[in-house]
Amino acid sequence: MQISFASGAAAGSGACVVGVSEGGVLSKEAARLDDATSGALKRALASGRFKGQAGQSIEVLAPAGVSWSRIILSGLGKGEKFDATAAERLAAAAVGRLLASGEETLTFAVDLPKRAKLAEPDLAAHLALGAQLRSYRFDHYRKVSDDEKPTLKNVVVVTKAAAAARRRWSDVSAVADGIFLARDLVNEPANVLYPDEFAKRALALKKLGVKVEIFDVPAMKKLGMNALLGVGQGSAHDSRMAVMQWNDARAKAKPDAPLAFIGKGVCFDSGGLSLKTGAGMMGMKGDMGGGAAVMGLMHALAKRKARVNVVGLVGLVENMPDGKAQRPNDIVKTMSGQTIEILNTDAEGRLVLADVLWYAQSRFKPRFMVNLATLTGAIVVALGTEHAGLFSNNDELAQRLTRAGEKEGEPVWRLPLGDAYDRLVKSKVADMKNIGGPNAGSITAAQILQRFVNGVPWAHLDIAGVAWQDGEQKPLAPSWGTGWGVRVLNRLIADNYE
């Protein structure tokens, strides 16, 4: 879908979206169109209950006096509550309505309401972002009937600050591309996207200037990454580790002190010998959602030429049950030298991350590490599908992540860590066990990860509830895979480290 920005009054063909503030107050552009249509817009407002509330809209088809095929009146709500998220949701609703309607062009002529919490260029850029994110489709493996095929090809945003909006869009669209990449990866089936294929797709980032290294099984054995390798030893697909570096010459950070982001990349999780139920196995192609977010982030940073040095690492495995698979009560020695007793082979993500976290801190000496993982079902019980779980050993980093999540509509909620929880993963035969019992499952998983950060400022995001969606789709995420994480991490970097 093509996005463009135009200055001046809206004029053209196709559909046009204008704003109505709460109370039914027409915006300047809406009032102009009402005059041109001899009061058709006000008559439409008077015919129903729509009064300009946020999230509501009304459509006027083929109004006389203008060239538009339809005019959509979209509610702006109260001006002081109209922010970037509200602009994105407004645009997403319009695109969702018209994507396969037969319309080819959609124009947004939304005036900035009084007391709104954003500037004119930001309004335009976030209208464009909402439209772009809602346009995403994953139709690679199905035949789409003619009446389902998208017809909408062009989105035009009318703004008084067209030049500034285009500059703003350059960065914002790079983030959208990263989100689309992450969604594609999560949506791919496991028979297509296995560890080696994921690694090959990471190599494509070289075109954007990202340095990419792929570690195979012998290389990881040499490093002593036995926890990661143990997870994948029952699969026909060999494990991999992808290391992606974006180093910008203008970066303020020292070249030897990057920001590090680590993703869980379990391309399919059967549970191993601790086999999941049939229903529990559904959706486990998405157990690499953390890795997908890290790769999407690296794409976004490189494309917008971020002024920062960043390294992204993804441990790539497939957890399958065969004669070579690891067993309950096996003990593995991690790269750190610490040993883990395997009590449940379905608690595998923490084993993968244990080695990758240790490798990241020992090689790159990062300023901080953030890992993302669809790690526990317990986090879904605790937070549902609205918040990701946040665990951290550093208050400043936790606060910055929380603020970034609020700004980007990807909220996080911090949960505790502590010695009492740490004692729950104490093993009688090894340094630790990989599960802590029936209680506080998300916390004990985080306690295990913390043992491998070696004192580096660190945050763990448990994204099991937000990386994909089985039920009602969110306005900006129309597919199963959401691409969660790219936005919040990009915002963390842009606001604090560039």
Q: Tokens in use for 478?
A: 């129309």
pLDDT digits (tens, 9 = 90+) for 67-78: 999 999 999 999
Token pair in block for residue 274: 């601790």
Write down the catalytic residue from 51, 276, 305, 414.
276
Report the pLDDT value the prediction gives residue 48, as an integer from 0 to 100: 83
Backbone angles phi, psi at 367, to 5 degrees: -65, -35
Please provide the CATH number assigned to the domain covering 2-161. Answer: 3.40.220.10
The CATH architecture one would assign to domain 175-496 is: 3-Layer(aba) Sandwich (3.40)
Phi, psi dihedrals of residue 141, rounded to the nearest 5°: -120, 20
Tokens 């041109």, located at residue: 36
Would residue 276 show up in a list of annotated catalytic residues for this protein? yes
> Which of these, 283, 309, 310, 313, lies nearest to 295 by C-alpha position?
313
Q: How confident is the prediction along the chain (498 residues), in pLDDT tens digits per residue?
A: 999 999 876 677 899 999 999 999 999 999 999 999 999 999 999 988 898 999 999 999 989 999 999 999 999 999 999 999 999 999 999 999 999 999 999 999 999 999 888 999 999 999 999 999 999 999 999 998 888 999 999 999 999 999 999 999 999 999 999 999 999 999 999 999 999 999 999 999 999 999 999 999 999 999 999 999 999 999 999 999 999 999 986 755 556 689 999 999 999 999 999 999 999 999 999 999 999 999 999 999 999 999 999 999 999 999 999 999 999 999 999 999 999 999 999 999 999 999 999 999 999 999 999 999 999 999 999 999 999 999 999 999 999 999 999 999 999 999 999 999 999 999 999 999 999 999 999 999 999 999 999 999 999 999 999 999 987 778 899 999 999 999 999 999 999 999
* CATH code 3.40.220.10 region(s) in the chain: 2-161
- CB contact set of 309 (below 8 Å; sequence gap of 6+): 245, 246, 247, 248, 251, 253, 254, 255, 257, 258, 259
Catalytic residue check, 350: yes
Q: For residue 106, how many other CB atoms are within 10 A of its CB?
A: 26
Determine the Cα–Cα distance for residues 262 and 373; give it in Å rounded to an integer: 9
pTM: 0.96
Q: Return d(Cα 227, Cα 233) in angstroms, integer.
A: 10
**In angstroms, rounded to a whole number, what is the distance separating the alpha carbons of residues 113 and 101?**
29
The answer to whether the CB of 75 falls within 8 A of the CB of 56 is: yes
Specify which residues 246 forms β-bridges with: 310
C-alpha–C-alpha distance, residues 336 and 71, integer Å: 62
Catalytic site residue from 264, 350, 400, 407: 350
Please give the backbone phi and psi of residue 195, each rounded to the nearest 5 degrees, phi first.
Answer: -50, -45
**What tens digit of pLDDT does each residue of 432-443 get?**
999 999 999 999
Instruction: Decide: 60 and 70 in contact? Cβ < 8 Å.
Output: yes
Give the integer Cα–Cα distance in Å for 489 and 179: 11
In 10 A of CB 427, how many CB atoms?
14
Residue 362 CA to residue 357 CA, distance in Å, equals 9
Start and end residues for every CATH 3.40.630.10 domain found in the chain: 175-496
Q: What are phi and psi of 46, to 5 degrees?
A: -70, -15
From the CB of residue 155, how many other CB atoms can be counted at a distance below 10 Å? 26
Residue type, 115: R
Produce one character per residue of 181-203: b if its CB has 16 or more CB atoms within 10 Å, e if not.
bbbbbbbbebeebbbbbbbebbe
Of 74, 97, 109, 89, nearest in space to 152 by CA: 97
